[in-house]
Amino acid sequence: MSEFIRALAASDLAPGTGVEVSLGGRAVALFNVGGTFHAIGNTCLHRGGPLGQGFVEGPRVTCPWHGWCFDVTTGENVMNPELKVVHYEVKMEDGQVLVNLEPAR
């Protein structure tokens, strides 16, 4: 059975931004794309950069270390979709952003 964990208040993450959160011992990058929240693994596949600290433009985040770019809605690398960080299901409840730590399909 999947369980959602509270990540943060929706009001704490402005549109067009991302943040790193620790949930259930996992590093998760959480993003607000035009009022819709998305969660992916926080670790870039290239050299382990923190995606939650990356530059957000639309549904894409660019790793701050070496510029690898990922689609936050799917976790796929923009240049090579076969390279993918984990993507988590997100839902809103009473103004809170909740994340399911079982990888989304």
**11, 15, 25, 72: which is closest to 44 by C-alpha?**
72
How far is residue 7 CA from its own chain's centroid? 11
Give dist(CA 80, CA 102) in Å, integer: 23
pLDDT digits 0-9 by tens, 90-99: 999 999 999 9
Q: Where are the beta strands (DSSP E) in the chain?
A: 4-9, 17-23, 26-33, 36-41, 55-57, 60-62, 69-71, 87-93, 96-103
pLDDT value at residue 103? 78
The proportion of the chain whose per-residue pLDDT surpasses 90, expressed as a percent, equals: 94
What is the model's pTM?
0.94
pLDDT band at 104 (very low <50, low <70, confident <90, very high): confident
| Distance between CA atoms of residues 51 and 39, nearest Å | 11
Q: Please provide the CATH number assigned to the domain covering 4-103.
A: 2.102.10.10
Mean pLDDT across 6-11 = 97
Q: How far apart are CA 9 and CA 93, in angstroms?
A: 10
> Rounded to whole angstroms, how far apart are CA atoms 10 and 8?
6
